[in-house]
Amino acid sequence: MNDSNLQFLKGQKPANSTSLPPNGSTVDPPAGALCEQVQIQAVVFLTLGIVSLLENILVISAVVKNKNLHSPMYFFLCSLAAADMLVSVSNSLETIFIAVLNSRLLVASDYFVRLMDNVFDSMICISLVASICNLLAIAVDRLHVQRIAALPPAAAAAGNPAPRRHSCMKGAVTISILLGVFVCCWAPFFLHLILLVSCPHHPLCLCYMSHFTTYLVLIMCNSVIDPLIYACRSLEMRKTFKEILCCFGCQSPV
């Protein structure tokens, strides 16, 4: 396999790698300091991937363990955590795959390299769609709960007890923070995809798309930040986190 085939993977992938010209040639971005591709070390991707994986496993474990967290909102948060885990696993596996290819421990054909690149990109897209669906589901759930809380006491008593207004407002703030962080971390990647389709060979578009690995790091940062938001915004989840961590920390070796 040629060294040039590694360009289809993270860190060496040209900005228009998923939309190559028919003859297989690539177009280099224009020269200039702002258009130089940022080389991000593999350890950064691996560290973010491992931290995100552990954090989101902790989120799912906390919801499963604490019966007070058995509500639609927290179930959707579990699903969102699973989507965050998917993008972390995808980028971590891609980093390992690139390291294996670079070290010549694996000799792969051009077709296999392209296939794996498509698999990793598909996992990111699946995570993106899943995250959007879960965030929308959480927003709808919070809106429904807020409407119930706004009902008159007699109407609310006919169904389930209405949660406190403070709790409803706290939930609305939490979903707002989650959406804001999601937009900030995923927007550069969104723009990358738009430019990839609309102007794959324009110099300015190529300049922006040359920073693809930076956008992947932002996506992984979103997966790391989300569990921190849950812990900061939910006292119940924070307490459960401490119980799980203390349980592991207090276990004596066999």
Would you list the domain boundaries of the chain? 40-242
pLDDT at 222: 94
The C-alpha atoms of residue 185 and residue 183 are separated, in whole angstroms, by 6
Output DSSP code: residue 30. Answer: P
Residue 83 confidence class, pLDDT cut points 50, 70, 90: very high
pLDDT at 167: 64
Output DSSP code: residue 7. Answer: G
Mean pLDDT, residues 88-109: 84
pLDDT at 153: 60
40-242 carries CATH number 1.20.1070.10 = yes
Mean pLDDT, residues 79-88: 91
> How confident is the model over 30-63, as pLDDT tens digits?
555 567 777 788 888 899 999 999 999 999 999 9
What's the Cα-to-Cα distance from 12 to each of 162, 168, 173, rounded to whole Å? 54, 46, 39
Per-residue pLDDT at 236 exceeds 70? yes
> How confident is the model over 184-198, as pLDDT tens digits?
999 998 899 899 899
The C-alpha atoms of residue 195 and residue 82 are separated, in whole angstroms, by 29
pLDDT at 149: 66
Per-residue pLDDT at 161 exceeds 60? no
pLDDT at 58: 92
pLDDT at 57: 93
Closest CA to 91 of 226, 230, 218, 225: 218
The C-alpha atoms of residue 193 and residue 16 are separated, in whole angstroms, by 10
Per-residue pLDDT at 158 exceeds 60? no
Q: Is the separation of the CB atoms in 91 and 218 below 8 Å?
A: no
Per-residue pLDDT at 181 exceeds 70? yes
> How confident is the model over 195-233, as pLDDT tens digits?
989 988 888 888 888 888 889 899 999 999 999 998 888
> How confident is the model over 4-20, as pLDDT tens digits?
444 445 544 443 344 33
Which pair of tokens denotes residue 29? Answer: 């971005």
The C-alpha atoms of residue 43 and residue 30 are separated, in whole angstroms, by 28
